[in-house]
């Protein structure tokens, strides 16, 4: 039994197809002088960009938008000024183009690793994928044809890159198992997008698993059994059959509106970080976007996106959603999410620091460009909403509203096409916002509860710290009481209230949220149908009965055991 990270749920059984990158040893390459090595490096970069542009275009035309976006992201990273400077410095120190490429990519990867945000730390793996592509070009090494991976295979590799994913025949791969990668790594995102069970982050994997061995993979438990005994294999095959049947059964919910058992309408929306993900979310049957993480537009580049570039992205996402809502969260930049070209100071406690709305109000020029872009993108459209993150008091809402009103006057005087009536809501993710929920509800058009940060702040437990992660739970009574209080305040003020944190995708918490009166669940695209099914299984009266018992319990263990037991009993 091998244990790793459960990054993509499902059961896969098959023969191991072990993929090891062709040898990229450049130790015997002798540098031919500074001018020659810089020229080789420039040629490799040009080839990389040319091939990547063609690949991204073909992927998007074939409907593989996510993979295309990732390839384009690698192109942006390759053109980063810091990377270019590090490579050039290495060549001037007498290194070969290969050694310079490796050194430069390693330097950028190290910068990513130093950031507290898990999604940004995961970008270090992208730098190594870029390094390997450059080395292949420089060394003249051909990539292996992955379309030849046979049917019924479990794909085993060091790390799944977008380049590998584009070559795989998805119907031939039963599961993916890797040495590296985490929940927010591109490899995990790709696995979930492809709907393939995956376990990642197994140290020494390639030294244990051999080609042709039978593997049984549980993507939800993070377990891989090598050469399972007959009874274990039969158990996995039976579970695989049930998993496939359950996936097929979910398809009946794809084109339905979300309703509880009584017929009361709710919304199940999706969390996205790019326009490409909006298309994927729609394919998965979402009823809108409950969270568009716009800070990703500002990362992996040399300068901030222009007003026109942002407006085009927001407009495209709005058009993809058609009549469905699109909630655009203003940039949650600063603190742990460092953007090099902004030259923000490093902080000892970034999660509680200079970030999000605090940064936007203190240094509003970048913020004004984003707000103008949103107002312009919403011209003639009624589905766009603005959401402010990390609010702690009414003065922050008023500060944003003051800036917004000034920008509307500017746009009107310029004769620009824009929508002056875009609703302004907030993300409730701080204990202060919970305590002031009634005052905030009087000033906001809507609430969306961000349970990831709300949980860690309520419990004073850093969700990235493995030494205290046993405390971090959405089932904690204090967190549930906070959610109940926020929903009640929204209802009293007559504004809609949703949830866009990970807890929104937990089936065990659905009856509580229904009982509280939650209007909208926003989850990752792959969880849309399962969440819709979970909501459909509860009447409000049933949910209230369960909630009354759960809320009377005083420990996380009791609450979780009770709720998961109820869900298990109902099948």
> Active-site residue numbers?
186, 500
Cα separation, 101 vs 83, in Å, equals 9
* Partners of 259 in beta bridges: 265
Cα separation, 137 vs 149, in Å, equals 23
DSSP structure string for 530-563 = HHHHHHHT--HHHHHHHHHHHHT--SHHHHHHHH
Helix (H, G, I), strand (E, B) or coil at 385: strand
Q: Name the one residue in this structure whose structure tokens are 């069970």.
A: 197
- Edge-first strand listing for the sheet containing 198-200: 2-3, 223-226, 214-218, 11-19, 153-157, 173-178, 198-200, 5-8
Torsions phi, psi of 23, nearest 5? Answer: -55, 125
CB 377 within 8 A of CB 411: no
Torsions phi, psi of 270, nearest 5? Answer: -125, 150
Q: Which residue, among 36, 28, 46, has the nearest Cα to 139 in the 3D structure?
A: 28
Is the Cα torsion angle 361, 367, 368, 374 positive or negative in sign?
A: negative
In this structure, what token pair is assigned to residue 15?
A: 């023969």
Pairing of strands 198-200, 173-178: parallel
Q: Which residues of 403-421 are buried (b: 16+ CB within 10 A; e: fewer)?
A: bbeebbeebeeeeeebbee
Q: Which residue, among 498, 491, 502, 493, has the nearest Cα to 524 in the 3D structure?
A: 502
By CB atoms closer than 10 A (0-12, 13-18, 19+), residue 39 is middle
Angle (nearest 5°) at CA 555 between 552 and 557: 115
């Amino acid at each position: 039994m091998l244990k790793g990270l459960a990054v993509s749920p499902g059961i896969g059984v098959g023969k191991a197809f072990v993929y090891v990158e062709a040898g990229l040893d450049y130790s015997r390459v002798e540098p031919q002088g500074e001018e020659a090595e810089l020229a080789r490096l420039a040629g490799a970069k040009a080839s990389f960009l040319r091939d990547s542009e063609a690949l991204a275009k073909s992927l998007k035309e074939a409907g593989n938008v996510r993979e295309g976006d990732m390839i384009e992201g690698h192109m942006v990273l390759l053109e980063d000024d810091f990377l270019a400077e590090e490579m050039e410095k290495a060549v001037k120190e007498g290194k070969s183009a290969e050694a310079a490429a490796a050194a430069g990519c390693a330097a950028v990867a190290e910068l990513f690793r130093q950031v507290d945000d898990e999604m940004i730390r995961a970008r270090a793996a992208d730098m190594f994928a870029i390094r390997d592509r450059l080395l292949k070009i420089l060394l003249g090494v051909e990539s292996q044809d992955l379309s030849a991976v046979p049917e019924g295979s479990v794909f085993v590799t060091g790390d799944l890159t977008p380049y590998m994913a584009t070559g795989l025949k998805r119907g031939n791969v039963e599961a993916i198992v890797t040495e590296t990668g985490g929940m927010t790594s591109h490899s995990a995102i790709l696995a979930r997008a492809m709907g393939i069970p995956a376990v990642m982050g197994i140290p020494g994997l390639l030294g244990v698993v051999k080609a042709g061995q039978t593997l049984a993979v549980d993507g939800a438990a993070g377990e891989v059994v090598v050469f399972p005994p007959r009874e274990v294999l039969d158990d996995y095959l039976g579970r695989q059959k049930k998993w496939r049947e359950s996936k097929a059964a979910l398809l009946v919910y794809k084109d339905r509106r979300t309703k509880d058992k009584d017929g009361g309408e709710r919304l199940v929306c999706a969390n996205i970080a790019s326009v490409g993900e909006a298309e994927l979310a729609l394919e998965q049957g979402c009823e809108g976007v409950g969270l568009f993480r716009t800070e990703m537009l500002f990362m992996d580049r040399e300068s901030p996106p222009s007003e026109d570039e942002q407006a085009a992205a927001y407009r495209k996402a709005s058009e993809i959603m058609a009549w469905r809502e699109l909630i655009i969260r203003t940039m949650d930049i600063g603190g742990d999410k460092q953007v090099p070209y902004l030259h923000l100071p490093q902080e000892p406690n970034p999660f509680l620091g200079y970030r999000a709305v605090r940064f936007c109000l203190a240094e509003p020029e970048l913020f004004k460009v984003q707000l103008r872009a949103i107002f312009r993108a919403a011209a003639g459209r009624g589905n766009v909403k603005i959401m402010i993150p990390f609010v702690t008091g009414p003065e922050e809402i008023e500060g944003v509203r003051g800036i917004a009103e000034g920008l509307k006057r500017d746009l009107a005087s310029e004769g620009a096409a824009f929508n002056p009536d875009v609703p302004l809501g907030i993300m409730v993710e701080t204990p202060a916002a919970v305590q002031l929920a009634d005052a905030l509800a009087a000033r906001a058009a809507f609430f969306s509860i961000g349970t990831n940060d709300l949980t860690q702040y309520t419990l004073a437990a850093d969700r990235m710290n493995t030494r205290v992660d046993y405390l971090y739970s959405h089932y904690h009574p204090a967190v549930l009481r906070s959610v109940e209080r926020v929903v009640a305040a929204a209802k009293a003020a007559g504004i809609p209230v949703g949830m866009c944190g990970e807890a929104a995708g937990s089936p065990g918490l659905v009856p509580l949220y229904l009982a509280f009166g939650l209007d909208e669940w926003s989850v990752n695209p792959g969880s849309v149908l399962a969440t819709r099914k979970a909501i459909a299984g509860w009447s409000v009266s049933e949910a209230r009965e369960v909630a009354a018992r759960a809320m009377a319990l005083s420990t996380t263990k009791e609450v979780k055991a009770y709720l998961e037991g109820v869900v298990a009993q109902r099948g």
